[in-house]
Amino acid sequence: MLVDMYRVSCFDGNATEDIAGALKRIQEGFKGTHGCLGQRLLRDLEHQEDFIVVSYWRDKESLARASALHAAIDEALGLLRVKTIANVYDIIQEL
């Protein structure tokens, strides 16, 4: 299983609820995507304006679909002052 993490940092504290809403809608749109095993939306406890969109993928072939998720996020948040960073991880151990 591969884990894709897409961090969204907002530079406008007044827009955090708009960003959270947009991220939730985008995730709903990708629900059931072939090879996607699930998704989570996380909010940083110390920095409430930072979010991480987490998606779990069956294999590298499926993971290629994560780029469409990233593009949808970038497009939806294009007018807001945000910074995004993508990281992909391979799960080594799960207890």
> Residues 9-28: what's their mean pLDDT?
89
**CA Rg, the chain, in Å?**
13
Judge contact between 50 and 6, C-beta under 8 A. no
- pLDDT for 40: 94
Q: 70 in a domain, yes or no?
A: yes
Domain of residue 42: give its range: 2-90
> Residues 18-25: what's their mean pLDDT?
91
Q: 95 in a domain, yes or no?
A: no
pLDDT in tens, 35-89: 999 999 999 999 989 999 999 999 999 999 898 989 998 998 888 888 898 989 9
Question: Angle at the Cα of 18 (from 12 to 22), degrees rounded to 5?
Answer: 125
- pLDDT for 79: 81
CATH number at residue 70: 3.30.70.100
Which of 14, 15, 5, 13 has the alpha carbon at shortest distance from 78? 15
Domain count, the chain: 1
Q: 63 in a domain, yes or no?
A: yes
